[in-house]
């Protein structure tokens, strides 16, 4: 992943975004380019700096283990 792609996500969005299902705060995983909902155990992808906050696009955190 290029350094430019990793920097494309504006982390100030974390101040206003919440997880769609749980309304919990999200954390940013820069290495994976994902927003993590720890409460639901889901990771939402970030593509071209845009968080994809759709349940169909979310990945279970158990998939990585």
Which carries the bigger pLDDT value, residue 13 or residue 65? 13
The answer to whether the Cα torsion of 9, 11, 15, 18 is positive or negative is positive
pLDDT at 64: 59
- Per-residue pLDDT reduced to its tens digit, 4-54: 554 578 888 899 999 999 999 999 999 999 999 999 999 999 999 999 999
Domains and CATH numbers, the chain: 3-63 (2.20.25.10)
pLDDT at 65: 52
Measured CA to CA, the distance from residue 48 to residue 65 in angstroms comes to: 26
Does the model's pTM come out above 0.85? no
Measured CA to CA, the distance from residue 47 to residue 57 in angstroms comes to: 11
């Amino acid at each position: 992943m290029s350094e430019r792609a990793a920097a494309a996500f504006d982390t100030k969005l974390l101040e206003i975004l919440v997880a769609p299902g749980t309304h919990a705060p999200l954390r940013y995983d820069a290495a994976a380019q994902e927003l993590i909902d720890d409460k639901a155990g889901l990771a939402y992808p970030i593509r071209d700096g845009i968080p994809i906050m759709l349940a169909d696009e979310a990945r279970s955190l158990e998939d990585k283990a």
